[in-house]
Structure 1
Amino acid sequence: MKRIEGQMRGITKMMAEDRDCTEVLQQMTALEAAIRAAKSKVLAIHAAECIEDALQGDDIAAQREQFSELIELFGKVSR
């Protein structure tokens, strides 16, 4: 997250300095990649916890609901 924050500050500074659009866009692309990586990491942690919780419970309906919510979240994150 600190890397993302630093990249955002750098992009803001580049724009304030009226830097070349190509350079700014390259940095924005790097920022998007960093955000995607962070989202994937958070999702992986959440998925592991969600699966662990579901496996520990005996409530099949609750397990299905958690699984369904997890699938929905995967869909949102992958957009």
Structure 2
Amino acid sequence: MEQDQKQQILNRLKIIEGHIRGVQRMVEEDAYCIDVLNQTRAIQQALAKLDVLILSRHLHHCVTTAIRSEDVAERERVLTELLQVFENIHR
């Protein structure tokens, strides 16, 4: 993984960590439930953005390399892997 991509992912994880700690504080302080829900939604959105960064990296490098490969089994493995990820998203 290239250093700038890795740094983007790490930065996103730090943002998510901060959101989670904030929600933890809110619960400890008996914050209004809707405010807590708004923050957990922000965490979900941040995780979705993280998924996009990781998936983009995977598609541009790992999948592209596998598809260009002469190894049919490797191509099939990568495609099956991607389909499984998308199937799990929609469960």
Residues 22-76 of structure 1, C-alpha deviations (whole Å, 9 max, x = no match): 1111111111111111112112211222222213421122212211112212333
> Any conservation in 2 of the 1:7–1:27 contact (CA below 8 Å)?
yes
What RMSD in Å do the two structures reach over aligned CA positions?
1.7
Q: Distance in 2 between matches of 1:3 and 1:62?
A: 35
Q: Secondary structure at the match of 1:58?
A: coil
Q: Secondary structure at the match of 2:70?
A: coil
> Any conservation in 2 of the 1:4–1:31 contact (CA below 8 Å)?
yes
Structure 1 stretches lacking a partner, 5+ long: none
Match of 1:23 among 16, 31, 35: 35
How many residue pairs get matched? 79
| Compared CA separation, residues 41 and 76, structure 1 to 2 (3 A) | farther
Q: Which moved more, 1:24-33 or 1:68-77?
A: 68-77
Q: Distance in 2 between matches of 1:73 and 1:49?
A: 17
- The aligned counterpart of 2:81 is 69
| Compared CA separation, residues 47 and 77, structure 1 to 2 (3 A) | farther
Structure 1 vs Structure 2: percent identity of aligned residues? Answer: 32
1:11 is aligned to 2:23: yes
